[in-house]
Structure 1
Amino acid sequence: MELQDIDLNLLVVFNELLRQRRVSTVAQTLGISQPAISNALNRLRKLLGDELFLRTSKGMMPTPFAESLAEPIGYALGAIYNTLNATSTFEPASSNRSFTVAMTDIGEIYFLPALMKRLAKEAPGVTISTVRNYPDALRDAMETGQVDLAIGFMPDLKTGFFQRRLFKQRYVCLFRKGHPLAKSGMTMKAFLEAEHVAIVAEGTGHGMVDAAIQRASVPRRVCLRVPHFVAVGHILQTTDLIAVVPQAYATRTLAPFGLDSAPCPVKIPDITINVLWHARNHREPSNQWLRQLVFEEFSQ
């Protein structure tokens, strides 16, 4: 197949279908009719010899072949767009740009208050939406442009991504003020005797906590398991349970929930918190601006 055999508009339709999964939404985004979208998809199917998208109750789902094309086509279109708009600039003070940022619930607790305060001063018209995705889904969303940035500990995002380190953090033990441990100290003996709430946080790097504790052959008395951090402060505030949490989470919850913290007696590797972005957005002016703002506000 030669490049002259391909209509670039077909790849634009393909990329939007990957991103939005509905013909009607893609037609609205591109400003053309639904039959025109269907016609473009049929042309691309014949050209590539694959169904590419199948109709389901959840929308147009890509075939394995279409998924294999997602990253290279997304990157190529992003490179073309950035090249053609290389001289464009981004004016944050007058922009109404909407950004989508992937982060965990810890990220929302730690980053959003300061980030929104900064945006209110420098870019009052800019809006932020946050999402939480498992690594594979996040990779696809960033490749197709659904997500602009990701912030957090995300070791699975490698090929095709850039990253910039914000800070490193350790894990600490968190418990209520007045807890017996506040007086006796968090010794290994106290850690073993305490009752724990364990945070599963599936799809994030927090799973390394359980793995590190298991490798150390430390038998925790886990009385409660929760899927995220949202309720942990409330739980610790009114019980004698303890939790092993990242320092950033502890920093934001000590005062509001009347909690205390201590170094964890089990050796758990520090984690690196990064801001990550896909190569397609590497030179895009508004993305560059937001990345720099995040770095200035949170890098240590």
Structure 2
Amino acid sequence: MDLHEIDLNLLVVFNQLLMERRVSGAAETLGLTQPAVSNALARLRKLLGDELFLRTPGGMVPTPRAQLLAQPVADALALLHGAMNQRISFDPLTSQRSFNIGMSDIGEIYFLPTLMDALKTQAPQVRLSTVRNSAVNLSDAMSAGQVDLALGLLPQLKAGFLQRRLFPQGYVCVFRKGHALDFGSNSKRRITLAEFVAADHVVVEAVGTGHGRVDEALQRRGIKRMVRLRVPHFVAVGHILAGTDMIATLPQRLAEKIVEPFGLVWVKHPAPLPDTAITLFWHARYHQDPANQWLRELIFGMFAR
């Protein structure tokens, strides 16, 4: 016999008859009429090829086949009832959940130190893993629950995704202290567009993010740079700028994080570049998931401006 042949309601009636031993009692408890209970029992008898209950002056007595089914049916119904009625909860203090977050190397530099420090006290056993937005099909991975959240400038996440804006992101020029464009702390701390164009540049291509819009904006304005070096990510830029006379156009929040460790300077960009929005994304399938909700609120509370 296949499970698809059995109406679950018949098993509910069977289980209640085992406890009540009377059709009238089972009907009253289940909120059914006596004919309805009798009809359900008749269907189950036919399906299983057994009388299941025999009428006696003391009530309905289960047959050996019914006794054999009694405990497995009761256990199965209890398991289903618990599963259907349980409230999914998330306790960060005791959870050992592992979260996967899509972010770039900028995100790791900017978000992770603060986030990990907060987790140390608020969720001491929770673990994080980061996933490069360009290393996976981020949309599919988030839809499948393989990546819980994504942070950054991610224009490809559209249909099926929810989002909350964290902060606007501007761009600045960055170079080493002592560079020919470094005018010192008491001077104008600005460079002209001509000086920007004349400099040697390192450009970060950052596939899988929206940072390529900077290059598009410069090209639309006819601003041409002498690009001496192209790299696929931001993480090495601090080292490169510290040891060369090249300059770079970088997100301001990244610049603020790296200037001190690498002995760099950042100044306002001479080109009128538009701000971009750094956003927190999650898939609609996990909008009500308590663990996902908790991490979203934590990140939003710490980084939203």
**Do both proteins adopt the same fold according to a TM-score greater than 0.5, normalized to the shorter chain?**
yes
Equivalences for 1:39-188 in 2 at 5 Å? 87-134=87-134, 137-183=137-183, 185-188=190-193
Q: Contact (CA 8 Å) 2:182, 2:265: kept in 1 or not?
A: yes
* Deviates most, 164-173 or 134-143: 134-143
For residues 125 and 161 of structure 1, the distance between their equivalents in structure 2, rounded to whole angstroms, comes to 28
Q: 1:257 to 1:214 in 2, by over 3 A?
A: same
Contact 1:169 1:270 in 2 (8 A): yes
Distance 1:119 1:169 in 2: 25
Question: Equivalents in 2 of 1:84, 1:191: separation in Å?
Answer: 64
Q: Secondary structure at the match of 2:246?
A: coil
CA contact (8 A) 2:133 2:209 kept: no
In the TM superposition, residue 135 of structure 1 has moved relative to its aligned partner by 9.2
Equivalent residue for 2:289, pick from 269, 284, 288: 284
Distance across 1 between alignment mates of 2:136 and 2:160: 13
Distance 1:235 1:84, change over 3 A: farther
Query: Aligned pair count?
Result: 220
The match for 1:191 among 188, 192, 196 is 196
Aligned-partner residue type, residue 114 of structure 2: A
Q: 2:206 — aligned with what?
A: 201
Q: Equivalent of 1:258, from 257, 263, 280?
A: 263
CA contact (8 A) 1:101 1:148 kept: yes
Match of 1:295, SS state, is helix
The Cα shift of 1:136 comes to: 7.6
Q: Any idea what the Cα deviations from partners look like across 1:124-157, whole Å, max 9, x if unmatched?
A: 1000000013398000000111000000111121
Show structure 1 runs of 4+ deviating over 3 A: 83-86
- Verify the 8 A CA contact 2:154 2:208 in the aligned structure 1: no
Summarize the alignment of residues 10-25 of structure 1 with structure 2, pairs less than 5 Å apart: none
Matching of residue 213 in structure 1 with residue 218 in structure 2: yes
For residues 267 and 159 of structure 1, the distance between their equivalents in structure 2, rounded to whole angstroms, comes to 31
Unmatched tracts of structure 2, length 5 or more: 6-82, 184-188
Amino acid at match of 1:251: E
RMSD over aligned Cα, in angstroms?
Answer: 1.8
Q: 1:157 to 1:86 in 2, by over 3 A?
A: farther
Q: Deviations over 1:221-280 (max 9, x none)?
A: 111111111110000001110000111110110111111101111122111011100011
Q: Is the 8 A contact 1:174 1:245 kept in 2?
A: yes
Q: 1:139 to 1:86 in 2, by over 3 A?
A: farther
Task: Indicate the structure with greater helix content.
Answer: 1
- Tell me the TM-score normalized by structure 2: 0.69
Unaligned 5+ runs, structure 1 = 6-82
Measured in 2, the distance between the counterparts of 1:253 and 1:118 equals 22
Structure 1 position 84, deviation (Å):
5.1
Report what 2:65 is aligned to.
Answer: none
Q: Secondary structure at the match of 1:206?
A: coil
Seen in structure 2, the aligned counterparts of structure 1 residues 85 and 110 have a Cα distance that, compared at 3 Å, is: farther
Following TM superposition, by how much is the alpha carbon of 1:85 offset from its aligned partner in structure 2, in angstroms? 7.3
Q: In the TM superposition, what is the alpha-carbon distance from 1:285 to its structure 2 partner?
A: 0.3
Does structure 2 retain, via aligned residues, the 8 Å contact 1:135–1:157?
Answer: no
**Residue of structure 1 in register with 2:229 after alignment:** 224
Tell me: CA distance 1:262–1:286, structure 2 relative to 1, closer, same or farther (3 Å).
same
Counterparts in 2 of 1:89 and 1:201: CA distance versus 1, 3 Å: same
CA contact (8 A) 1:135 1:156 kept: no
Q: TM-score, normalised by structure 1?
A: 0.70
1:22 corresponds to:
none
Please identify the structure whose Cα radius of gyration is greater. 2
User: Are 1:194 and 1:242, in contact at CA under 8 Å, matched by a contact in 2?
Assistant: yes
- Is the alpha carbon distance of 1:86 and 1:229 closer, same or farther for their aligned partners in structure 2, counting shifts above 3 Å? farther
